[in-house]
Amino acid sequence: MKNQIVCKFGGSSVSNAEQINKVKDIVSENQERRYVVVSAPGKESSRDEKITDHLMNIATGGKHFRSQQIEIDAETSYRAVMGKFRKLVADLSIEGDDIIEQLEGDLQKTIPVDKRIDFLASRGERYNAEIVCRYFNKKGMPSELVLPKDMGFVVSDDFSNARVIPVSYRNIREKLSSVEGVSVIPGFYGMTSRGDVAVFSRGGSDLTGGEVAFAVEASLYENWTDTDGIYQVDPRLIPEAKVIPRLTYKEIRLLSSKGFNVFHYDAMVNCRKRNIPIRIRNTNDLSSEGTMIVSERVPEEVVVGIARQDNIAYLYIERVGSGETIGFVHALLSIMKDYGIETYHYPTDRDDVAILLNQDDLVGSEGDIKETIEREFKPDILEFNYNITIISPVGIGMKDHPGVIAAAATALKEQNINIDIINQGPAQISFHFGFRNYYADSALRAMYERLLK
């Protein structure tokens, strides 16, 4: 199935009839675009809530929005979902009475509590894919709706965080090879071995696209969204930042782990194994070439992008003799694991160590963690430091380019910005500076000016 393209269209790309028509034009423009993965309809305005959130609100009897302090009850969400799909059917002028009837039946279906959220959360993708497929056929583009159950897309029963079972790849390849025309596939969910719907973590339509691309050995995986690609820096913070034309999987991995919320990282894992390039493009601007993610590239720049993470805390521990204690850092990290807290960096010296983590994860646990560490390690100093921002330049070109860290530090010194934390990745293609949050904007600007602009 070489020279065939998998296209995933995000919620903004299929949010209304006008956007779905753009999707049709994009797919019809290139005959190699054989596999189309569809998200649930996105928001049409910033005042709206996402359809998937409405569906989860229905499933939880209104608790989903209440937990976010949003005053929308389950009945209001039900009307929003039904109204959205009725409007799509009407605006696209397709036959869809049966779609509306089936959706209504699904929303009212009695399902065990532990499976209800996943089932309802998947209905946005399920029925939007059918609407898109019918519109393609109406416009003369032969298409077939291929549901996860149809192609044997088997996942684990880890509801709301499902994982793909390897047998799925053979099943998907065999099914899709028999489809004439375009295969339209709902993203975000698969089927357990018992026939239950299980969804991936949020953003999981990206994952569906990546797994389909891996299964069919696609020549390219296109991820269509509402931005021109991956920017050097968050353009909301640095408006003049440019789109990065090419990145390696290693670079995007580092950037996404440090705050670049581009798309579901798991979507890239299997594509990387088969060297399938991923191109991120803008549904609303075909003149933009977007960003290509590849296995290898020749660097034309030293730093390719700068990521930023706010609201970081670090736990600082000093104990004389810890440098001679085998397994000291491992034991500390095991405590973090026991409390379910993800850690990022662990700068160390002979007798002290700092553990960086998201400060929101400490809510309700800080006292217990301190007590545990005091009891087990009896440190000389133990303290939490809050409101830290980590800024991380990334680029494969910096490995053989001396003076990058010095240049960044000099730019910060010129702005009288104090650095609290310095850490370099062992691959020498990234480094991390930590500051108090109130330095964050000026620090990012200074490093952008010196390293990228």
Task: For residue range 214-260, list pLDDT tens digits in order.
Answer: 999 999 999 999 999 999 999 999 999 999 999 999 998 888 766 56
- Are 211 and 134 found together in one domain? yes
- Are 139 and 172 found together in one domain? yes
Helix residue ranges, H only, 139-242: 167-177, 204-215
- Are 271 and 228 found together in one domain? yes
Last residue of a domain, one of 259, 294, 329: 294
Number of independent structural domains in the chain: 2
- Note the pLDDT tens digit of each residue in 175-184: 999 999 999 9
- Return the DSSP state at 45: S
In a domain, 300, yes or no: no
Question: 287 with 26: CB under 8 angstroms?
Answer: no
- Are 348 and 402 found together in one domain? yes
- Are 92 and 144 found together in one domain? yes
Output the pLDDT for position 61.
94
- Are 311 and 256 found together in one domain? no
Output the pLDDT for position 388.
94
Output the pLDDT for position 192.
97
Q: What is the residue type of 24?
A: K
In a domain, 382, yes or no: yes
**Residue 430 burial (CB < 10 Å; 0-12/13-18/19+)?**
buried
- Are 244 and 137 found together in one domain? yes
In a domain, 350, yes or no: yes
Measured at the CA of 131, the angle between CA 53 and CA 113, to 5 degrees, comes to 35
What's the pTM value of the predicted model, to 2 decimals?
0.89
- Note the pLDDT tens digit of each residue in 44-78: 888 889 999 999 999 999 999 999 999 999 999 99
Instruction: Judge whether residue 345 has pLDDT over 70.
Output: yes
- Tokens 């959220």 belong to 117
Question: 154 with 90: CB under 8 angstroms?
Answer: no
Mean pLDDT over residues 33-40, rounded? 97
- Note the pLDDT tens digit of each residue in 102-142: 999 999 999 988 899 999 999 999 999 999 999 999 999 99
What is the DSSP code string of 320-388? Answer: TTGGGSTTHHHHHHHHHHHTT--B----B-SSEEEEEEEGGGGTTTHHHHHHHHHHHH--SEEEEEEEE
Q: How far apart are CA 247 and CA 146, in angstroms?
A: 32
Paired sense of beta strands 431-436 and 421-424, if any: antiparallel
In a domain, 244, yes or no: yes
CATH of the domain at 379: 3.30.2130.10
- Are 406 and 324 found together in one domain? yes
State which residues form the domain around 274.
5-294
- Are 121 and 254 found together in one domain? yes
Mapped onto helix, strand or coil, the DSSP state of residue 300 is coil
- Are 31 and 101 found together in one domain? yes
CATH of the domain at 211: 3.40.1160.10
Mean pLDDT over residues 192-198, rounded? 96
- Are 166 and 285 found together in one domain? yes
